[in-house]
Amino acid sequence: MKQFTVLSFLFLLFSISGIAQETVVTGVPSPCGMLMDGNNLYIAELASGDIGVLDTTDSSPSVTSVVSGLDEPYALALFGNDLYISDRAAAKIFKIDITVENPSLVEVASTVESPYGIAVSGNMLYVALNTGTIISLDISDSNPTPTDVVTGLNGPDALLSDGNILYIGEEFGQRISKIDLNEPTPTVVEVATGILSPRAMTLRGNEIYIAETVVDRVSKINITDSNPTPELVVSGVNTPNGLAADGNILYIAEILIGRISKFEIEPLSINEFNNHANMITLYPNPATTSIMLSGLEGEREYQILSLLGEKLVENGITYDSKPIDVQQLATGVYFLKLQGDPRILPFIKE
């Protein structure tokens, strides 16, 4: 009777929390960093040296190789059609064009030291090095030069950009810290402590989900809190080393057992949706060929309006950092409106 009571309690606990694990695919060679692009989930396979992809809408998905020949692909970041890859063993950053059927690896930069997490903000790619340094690369440059952004971190691993704020998971420091990228000399600010081995992060609304690899759990913090406290999301996952959020679904890469699993998480509140919408930025502005949006979650429908309110583009689809072609627009002032967002984002076409 006592055993029944305990089991019933655990069942009720997981039912109330809405956390239910489901295996997506197994047999993935040491999955690490992951990235959602529409329905496609890209996966860095540390052991095979491949970047794989699966269609999350498939009822029985399988991983297909996109590109091979890397040494130890670790983290992924998307800028337009280019998927950036940190290769830990090669000490290099590569990119591929995901719109090409059989993309070729293009070397972007050599970092000398092992690169771990990467994140894009504007035209800059930020890279965490195992020396305790974050460097930046101007990826609009055909031959970018690594520039130190901040040093003295304690095992920086995961990176996550949100507008002008770069969040850093410090593995040995057991904390999440942040820097303001608008500052000429950024200062490291502590966000939350007591987080064990934060090797992956993903943003959803006002919350950062964090993979705590060595303790087999995923936690989260609310970045609008003045003193964020880690809150357990799910435990018992096996060495989570990659995260990706898509709506109410959280995908987890379990590196040691080669599994991608998923969990259903609570829907965003209206306040969380509105607060996060306030962080959406349009760049470059003025623009000559294309504009992009940062701070988007998933695909969004948009319109482009003239100064007189005429709809010049309807039913356009975009996502975070995807170029929106404006070459055909005449010189002048225009407005971009996202579906479901009451604001209108102005921009100048030169």
Q: pLDDT tens digits, residue range 285-333?
A: 899 999 998 877 777 889 998 887 788 998 888 888 889 999 999 999 8
What CATH number is attached to the domain comprising 311? 2.60.40
| pTM (two decimals) | 0.76
Last residue of a domain, one of 247, 268, 289: 268
> Residue 10 domain-assigned?
no
| Same domain as 157, residue 300 | no
Same domain, 115 and 238: yes
Q: Do 27 and 134 lie in a common domain?
A: yes
The number of distinct structural domains making up the chain is 2
- The domain boundary, picked from 219, 244, 268, lies at 268
Looking at the fold, whether 34 and 98 belong to one and the same domain comes out as yes
Q: Is residue 77 a contact partner of residue 118, using CB atoms and an 8 Å limit? A: yes
What pLDDT, on a 0 to 100 scale, did the predictor assign at position 118? 97
Do 250 and 313 share a domain, yes or no? Answer: no
Does residue 22 share a domain with residue 140?
yes
Do 77 and 186 lie in a common domain? Answer: yes
Residues 63, 160, single domain; the answer is: yes
**pLDDT, tens digit (0-9, with 9 covering 90-100), for 18-36:** 456 799 999 999 999 999 9
Look at residue 205 and tell me if it is in a domain. yes
Q: Which domain holds residue 65?
A: 18-268
Which of 268, 299, 320 finishes a domain?
A: 268
Q: Does residue 318 lie within any of the structural domains? A: yes
Same domain, 320 and 188: no
Burial degree of 152 (CB within 10 A; 0-12, 13-18, 19+): exposed
The answer to the question of residue 289 being in a domain is: yes
**Mean pLDDT of each 10-residue bin along the chain, 350 residues long:** 39 43 94 94 97 96 97 95 96 96 95 91 93 95 94 97 93 96 95 95 93 94 93 92 92 97 75 56 89 81 85 87 91 86 80
In a domain, 253, yes or no: yes
34 and 128, same domain (yes or no): yes
User: Is residue 150 included in any domain, yes or no?
Assistant: yes
CATH number at residue 224: 2.120.10.30
Residue 12 belongs to a domain: no
pLDDT at position 275: 52
Note whether 322 and 254 are same-domain residues.
no
What pLDDT does residue 65 have?
Answer: 97
Q: What is the pLDDT of residue 320?
A: 81
256 and 294 together in one domain:
no
Is 259 within a domain?
yes
